[in-house]
Amino acid sequence: MKKILVPAAIAALVSVAPLAALAKTTGNYSGTVKSVNTSNETVTLTDGETFSLDYAGMANQLKPGTTVNLRWEDVNGETRVMRVLPS
């Protein structure tokens, strides 16, 4: 019985681990823009979440009061907006 459980447990961990890592490194986030800081290249939503922008021109797509869908990635521990999606 022990010989069967160990390989099964290892297989389960190996198959789930990549999915858990992916879930923490990329995603979508929806909200209403509270402010855009062009000098820091960040956007803050009305719920308090703040994201770094991937490039400075992205700030032109974000206006306070508008609802947005943001595609973000974890880049070296920083939550960075990679795309602004239609809301």
Q: Where are the beta strands (DSSP E) in the chain?
A: 26-37, 42-45, 50-53, 67-75, 78-85
How many domains does the chain contain in total?
1
Which regions in the chain score pLDDT beneath 50? 22-23
Please report, for the domain that includes residue 51, its CATH number: 2.40.50.320
Mean pLDDT of the chain: 81
The domain containing residue 77 runs over which residues?
A: 26-85
**CA dihedral for 34, 35, 41, 42, sign (positive or negative):** negative
Label the pairing between strands 78-85 and 50-53. parallel
Place of tokens 């290892």: 10
Q: Which pLDDT does position 6 carry in this prediction?
A: 55
CB of 69 closer than 8 Å to CB of 87: yes
Q: Which pLDDT does position 56 carry in this prediction?
A: 85
